[in-house]
Every structure is written in structure tokens, then in C-alpha cells.
Structure 1
Amino acid sequence: MDISVYRPGELSGTERAAWSTMQSQAHLLGTPQLANPFLAPEFALAVGRCRRGVRIAVIREDGEPAAFLPFQRSPLGVGRAIGLGVSDAQGLVHRPGFQWDSRELLHACGLSVLEFDHLVEGQKPFESAPMRSFASPVIDVDQGYAAYLAWLLENSPKFSRRTLSKERKLGRDVGPVRYVHDERDPAVLRRLLGWKSAQYRRTGRSDRFAHPWIVQLVDQLFHTRTASFAGLLSVLYAGDRPVAAHFGIRSERVLSCWFPAYDPAYAKFSPGLVLHLRMAEGAAARGLAYIDLGRGNKEYKDCLKTRELSVSEGWVSRPHPVALWQRAHRVPVRALRNTVVSRPELFAPADRLLKRMGRIRSGG
């Protein structure tokens, strides 16, 4: 393999165009999972502006780019998928049928180990290492919103009718309901981040927006707009007041659900659920194929989804002392977390404890 490794700013316009073309044609060439916006060059470049150690491996065949692997590298040669912890799709973007040797790739990248937590399907050379798979539910809208709503009314009738009823009640009690699919007001984005931070604290979770680099990344992506990629702020208004919002990123065919939140003052109207239905309508109107709701077991995802993708978590490594140390350090922690999340009898009490701690932390 002919492998070169670059800093994000060193990638040429020709190489970026080749990367984007691979994504735009992925659904036609049997690799639809590669169309996810988290695998786009724009996302990798944005992370590179916010984090150190971001690199992009370009693999060439006959002098032409055949594959791209964005990653983050520590001084000790420990590699992490680009945006690990906030990215919902990771892997090597490649031409159809392209094969690679994972150990040779790691060696060329100066890595002893490379960690994933959302490795997309079809990455067979990486999957030779032990990986654990998780469901990532999606909403298909390629047949139009009317078709999706009809499917939803048939498969989740109580949920869909209740949500539509609450939308009507929101309009009667608060003000006319209005949806903006692509809101460009940065003040509304700041309000969303405030809601999301409060939600993290209220539920006892770590506040992602306490990390300046994540706030910077969201801001970078909000202002990123190309023909094949954009940061998308979608907002549900009642009257002139925003009551729910979502920020995510989209490619030509996929909208990745990332940071949804709502104003708790309007919780009885389920504005977050109403927002997701409006997002499906907006995505369908703009020709997208599906909304990726992201890995994680949530009741609302089970009600909204039409099917599931699969993402994997694990490591690929080559013989090296640092790789052994990394696995010994990380595997027990991830195994414990995944065991708790996957078993309802353990997750429910853990979730209650987190929420109780969140109320204490929030002064409730």
C-alpha cells in the first residue's frame, strides 16, 4: 500500500474532492454506510482545528487516492478514531472493493493501536480484531414524509397519535407551532447548548459542553457549508419562542442526530418528540435518505425508528508494548460500562442514581 499521512491543513483540494466523491457515490456502489457526515472531510478538518494530533492517512492505488483514514494520535502512538466520544460514525472511507492490511496501515500511521467506538459496517480488516456491535436506529425518509408517517401510525400508533395531539395542544396553549429546518441564528444555537448542558447536569451525566473544544467544534460546524456537507440547526417554535432544537450534521443523503434538547418549561407538550417528526419531514423534503438517531437504547428511538444499522466498539492493534498497556487500561472500563448499559436490571438503578446525583448537583 502507498500510504501518506498528513496534517488536516496539508490535504490538497484534489484529495478532498476525491474523498467527497467517494461519499456521494457510496449509496450507488454498495457502501451506503460511508455516506455518514461524521465520515466527511469537513468533519475531520473541523476536529483538526479544535484538537491536537489529528492526522489523515491517504492510501493511493496507481497514484490516485483509494481510501482516507482520519484519526487522532498521541505522542506515544495511541490512536483514536477522529472525534472519539462525540462522533457517531468512524472508519476508513474507500473505493468499492478496496482491501487493506490493518497492521500495515497502523505502522504507516505511527500507531500501535487504534480505538473505535462507532466503527461502521463493512470494515472487515478492522473487524478481524475483537469488536462488540451495537444497534444504531435510523428513520428512513427516502419514500417521503407521508410514507414515513403512515408507517409510524401503523407500527407505533399510540406514540404517533399522542405526539401529534401534543403538537396541536402546544399550538393552542402557547402559540402557533412553526418549524425551521435550517436556522442560522447563532443565539438560538447558544440557547440549545444551554438546554443541553442543563440536561446533562440534571440527569447526572458529564456535561460535554464543559469542554471548550466541543463548543468550538459545534461552532465550527455550524458555520461549515459545502455542497455535500453542513452543520444543521433545526428549531421548533411555539409563537416566537423556541421550545426545542437540534444541532447535527448532514451529508448529501444522511442527517446525523447529535444534540437534541428542549425547554423543560414545555415538557408536558413533548416538544422534543414533535421536533423529531418535523425533522423527518424536513429531511424528506430536502431529498435525504434517512436520519441516523445514533447508538443508544432510548424509548423514543424505538418508537421512531424504521430499522437499525450496526456500529462496533473495540481496538485494532499491532504487536507493541504500548498496545498491550492500552488494552489492559481501557478494556475493563468499557466492558463494565457496556454491561450496565445492556442489562435493564443494572441500567435502571444506575440511571436513577445518576439522576438523583444530577438533582443534587443542580440544587434540586
Structure 2
Amino acid sequence: MQAETGHGSEEWDALQQDWRNLTNRLQPRSPFMHWEWLSAWHRHFATNHPLTVLVCRQDNQCTGILPLVTHVRRGKKLQLRTLRLLGTGLSDQLGLMAQLADTSTLARALYDRRHQWDLLELKDVEAGDPAIAEFCRALINEGLQPTITPDCKRPCLTIDEDWDSFYARVIGKKTRRRNRIQRRKLESIGRLSFETVTSAEAYLGHLPQIRKLHERHFNTGQKRQRPFDTTTGYRFFHDAGQALAAQSMLALHLLKLDDRIIAYDLGLRHNRRYLQYLGGYDSNYARYSPGRLLQVYLLRWCFETGFSEVDFGRGDHDWKRKWTSQTRENVTITVPGPTLMSRLRRTVLMR
């Protein structure tokens, strides 16, 4: 088994079929590990950053790929080179696209290239991930010193009962009654409708209206890049959403009043798991709790569609805790470069 090194966009693009084959073989838990998401992320956010791709092959078959983006922090005389996973920042859960047997090869490849980096930082990997645990052991065997620090929690809900039973058990009578009252109030104002969008054409058709909603809306969930914050961010969500929808991995839930979006929630579908990614509502209608009404509709849809789990995404927020007490934890793996120059750069530039 050997590791190859590729640099730049052309090498990454050439690995598309290998990555897809690995995805089919390894079945990663996270939808953010799919080519549709990562290739769009690279195209819009990483073209100005050096890319290092470690590839494991055995008998001419690709068995593992580790794509790393170099972020450079420059000082007056020194620069700190930090390696991060492709997709870091926007992705709620990342990991290794490699077999357990490849972790030692990847660790050795990183050690052999120790003069090319000063800090390895793997953010938002899931605690207890077997591949990550094996990778940490392999790094230690190479004389490196990984540290694991808690990052954030991701509330999740296992679906093992029907919707009516769950709703009555988890949400009290007063809240259910308040939800009905809020809905009737909205219906008295205009025509109220709930909608689930899964096609690429319909998703792209709603994006401009969601972008306008940004000016009068409250954002829910983890603070992150949204499709309307910057032109680059909008283009990313345009391309990634279109590609994911083509693979039946995207769902956009909408609450409309007279065809005007007053709440939305964008999520990803993956291996009978639904991951809520980002959402918001029109603050002009805050008194009617449109976000909560849409959440009820969304969860009912998940139950009736046949999902086995709902992942509420990063951030242990109160509104998520109203639905579940279960959580998973994201951690950050930090590995300092072992060379003397790396230690000097970290000492000077990380003070």
C-alpha cells in the first residue's frame, strides 16, 4: 500500500470517480463527505489556497483519499501553515474517506511531509468515529502528538414511533394548542401553505426569494456562511444545492403566506438520516412563530417519509432540546508539526 500526493485543482478533479467509488464502498455517515458538496466548496472557497491530496492505492485501486487545504498566516518574517480538511467551516460533520487499514499509510505520509506544514487541524469530526480513532493511534505511532478537544454538540432524534405518539409525548398540550392558534391566526391573514422542495429546478427558483428574506429574517442554528451573505456564498449554495438535489439528497421546506416565504429550512437527506442545516424566518411575522410551525411540519414529514434519524446540526440550542435529549459530539483533532521551525512558527504566530 502506498500514498501518492497531488497538488492543485486538476489533481482533485481527476479523483472524482475514485471519490465516488469510495463513497459507495465506505458509506460515510455525513452528507458533507459527498463529492457534490466538497467539489463545490473547493471551487468557491479554496481556489486561492494550496491543496494537498493524499491518495492511498493498493493493486491500482484507490482505497483512501485525504484532501487537505493549507491556510497560511503570515507574520513579518515567518508564516504558519495549517492543514485543514476540505470543506471545513461550512460542513457540520467531516471525517476520513479511507479504510481503517489506510490510516497508518496516511499518518506516515503526513510525517514524511512534516517540513511542508506546521499544524494539522481536523475540525468537526465525530467523536467515536472508528477511522478517526485509528488515525490518531497511527499518528502517535509516527511520533506525532494529536490532541482531541470538544468542539460542539449535535442534537439528534432517533425515530422509533409514529408521529402522533411522539408529538403528544414530547410537546405539551399548551404548546400544541398555541401552535394551532398561531396557525389559525396566519390563516386569517392570507393563504397559508407548507411546501417541500426536492428538485433542483424548484430549489434554484426559490433561492432569490430566500436571499431577499435575509434582510428581514432571524437566522436559526449554528452561525455560518449563508446563501445570501456574500456573492461567493450564494454561488456556492446555488451550485452545491443543484448538485445535491440531482442526487435526491436535498430538501427545502417552506412556509408561505400568499406565496410569500415567511420561514424556510434547508436540509440534507442521507442514508435514511435527515440533517437540518440552516433556516430562518421573516421577523415581521415573529409573533406567529413561523419557525416553530415549520419545524412541526418538517419533523412530521421526516416521520412519515421513513427516516430513521433527524440530526439537528451543530449547536446545542434550546429549541432543539425541546424535541430531543440525544446528542452526538463533534471534536477537533490538533497535531503540531514536529520540526523545530514549526515549533518556532507556532510560538511566534500563535501567541
Residue matched to 1:174: 190
Correspondence for 1:131 among 143, 148, 151 = 148
Per-residue deviation at 1:84? 2.0
CA distance in 1, matches of 2:346, 2:175: 44
Residue matched to 2:94: 90
CA distance in 2, matches of 1:328, 1:148: 56
Correspondence for 1:68 among 65, 70, 80 = 65
The residue identity in structure 2 corresponding to 1:251 is: H
Any unmatched runs of 5+ in structure 1? 25-33, 333-364
1:254 aligns with 2:273: yes
Per-residue deviation at 1:271? 1.4
The residue identity in structure 2 corresponding to 1:230 is: M
Per-residue deviation at 1:328? 7.0
User: Which protein is richer in strand relative to its size?
Assistant: 2
1:154 aligns with 2:169: yes
1:195 aligns with 2:192: no
Per-residue deviation at 1:136? 0.7
1:21 aligns with 2:39: no
The residue identity in structure 1 corresponding to 2:146 is: A
CA distance in 1, matches of 2:164, 2:5: 46
Residue matched to 1:4: 4
Per-residue deviation at 1:11? 0.8
Alpha-carbon distance change, 185 to 135 in structure 1, aligned in 2, over 3 angstroms: closer
The residue identity in structure 2 corresponding to 1:237 is: K
Per-residue deviation at 1:180? 2.0
What aligned pairs does 1:215-230 form with structure 2 within 5 A after superposition? 215-225=234-244, 230=249
1:302 aligns with 2:321: yes
CA distance in 2, matches of 1:111, 1:149: 54
Maintained 8 Å contact 1:3/1:105: yes
Aligned residues: 316
DSSP 3-state at the match of 2:277: strand
| 1:193-214 CA-partner distances (Å, limit 9, x unpaired) | 3334655799xx7875444332
1:104 aligns with 2:108: yes
CA distance in 2, matches of 1:226, 1:177: 22
- The structure whose Rg is larger is 2
The residue identity in structure 1 corresponding to 2:88 is: L
Maintained 8 Å contact 1:167/1:177: no
1:319 aligns with 2:338: yes
Using the TM superposition, name which of 179-188 and 310-319 deviates more: 179-188
CA distance in 2, matches of 1:17, 1:179: 31
Per-residue deviation at 1:262? 0.9
CA distance in 2, matches of 1:156, 1:201: 23
| 1:59-102 CA-partner distances (Å, limit 9, x unpaired) | 23444333332331246642122222211111202336764366
DSSP 3-state at the match of 1:151: helix
Alpha-carbon distance change, 163 to 47 in structure 1, aligned in 2, over 3 angstroms: same
DSSP 3-state at the match of 2:286: helix
CA distance in 2, matches of 1:108, 1:212: 39
CA distance in 2, matches of 1:243, 1:77: 44
Alpha-carbon distance change, 262 to 324 in structure 1, aligned in 2, over 3 angstroms: farther
CA distance in 1, matches of 2:206, 2:236: 16
The residue identity in structure 2 corresponding to 1:177 is: S
Alpha-carbon distance change, 311 to 200 in structure 1, aligned in 2, over 3 angstroms: same
The residue identity in structure 1 corresponding to 2:108 is: E
| 1:212-269 CA-partner distances (Å, limit 9, x unpaired) | 3322211111210477563432212234222111223333333332220111121122
Alpha-carbon distance change, 285 to 200 in structure 1, aligned in 2, over 3 angstroms: closer
Correspondence for 2:122 among 113, 116, 122 = 116
Using the TM superposition, name which of 320-329 and 50-59 deviates more: 320-329
CA distance in 1, matches of 2:347, 2:57: 31
Per-residue deviation at 1:327? 7.8
CA distance in 2, matches of 1:289, 1:316: 35
CA distance in 2, matches of 1:137, 1:181: 24
Maintained 8 Å contact 2:125/2:330: yes
Residue matched to 1:343: none
Dislocated runs of 4+, deviation >6 Å: none
Alpha-carbon distance change, 329 to 199 in structure 1, aligned in 2, over 3 angstroms: farther
The residue identity in structure 1 corresponding to 2:82 is: V
DSSP 3-state at the match of 2:104: coil
RMSD: 3.4
Alpha-carbon distance change, 201 to 159 in structure 1, aligned in 2, over 3 angstroms: closer
DSSP 3-state at the match of 2:329: strand
CA distance in 2, matches of 1:5, 1:283: 42
Alpha-carbon distance change, 20 to 165 in structure 1, aligned in 2, over 3 angstroms: farther
DSSP 3-state at the match of 2:307: coil
The residue identity in structure 2 corresponding to 1:222 is: G
Any unmatched runs of 5+ in structure 2? 73-79, 138-144
